[in-house]
């Protein structure tokens, strides 16, 4: 199994805690941020292999934070949202590898992270 460094961001404490605990349970190294601005700073310091972020957060929303992170260094992003709007999903598709709707299902999150890990494994051995 590939162990990823994952940065997560959500302004809802329960969701942030769930992401941190579940991804750690899967064996990954996880650090969390409360908003988009903190996420950008966390990514500069932590150098994650993957970002999992909520879309709607105060200040800098998740998609804008992901774009800022990716201007400095390419990092795959899984975008999560309580809004199930197809337009949001289409917008997100331009910059993210997966779009997950809340409430997040363990199996969907695990599959999304595993697909990123497989890509990391290919880059490392390629």
Give 23: exposed, middle or buried? Use CB within 10 Å, 0-12, 13-18, 19+.
buried
Percent residues over pLDDT 90 in the chain: 63
CATH of region 5-125, choose from 3.30.2310.20, 3.40.50.720, 3.40.50.300, 3.40.50.2300 = 3.40.50.2300
Least confident range of 2-11, 13-22, 95-104? 95-104
User: In this predicted model, what pLDDT tens digit does every residue of 57-103 receive, in sequence order?
Assistant: 988 989 889 989 988 888 999 999 887 665 555 555 446 788 899 99
Domain boundaries, given as residue ranges, for the chain = 5-125
pLDDT (tens digit per residue) in 29-60? 999 999 999 999 999 999 999 999 999 998 89
What confidence score (pLDDT) does residue 92 get? 57
CA dist 59 and 78 (Å) reads 19
Per-residue model confidence (pLDDT) at position 119: 82
**Spatial CA neighbour of 11 closest among 31, 30, 34, 27:** 34
């Amino acid at each position: 199994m590939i162990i990823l460094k994952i940065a997560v961001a959500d302004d809802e404490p329960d969701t942030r805690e769930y992401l941190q605990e579940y991804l750690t349970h899967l064996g990954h190294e996880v650090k969390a941020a409360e908003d988009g601005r903190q996420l950008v700073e966390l990514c500069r310091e932590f150098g994650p292999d993957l970002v999992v972020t909520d879309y709607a957060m105060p200040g800098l929303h998740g998609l804008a934070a992901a774009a800022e992170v990716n201007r400095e260094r390419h990092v795959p992003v899984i975008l999560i949202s309580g809004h199930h709007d197809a337009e949001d999903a289409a917008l997100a598709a331009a910059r993210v590898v997966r779009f997950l709707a809340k409430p997040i299902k363990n199996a969907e999150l695990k599959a999304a992270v595993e697909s990123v890990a497989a890509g990391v494994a290919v880059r490392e051995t390629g």
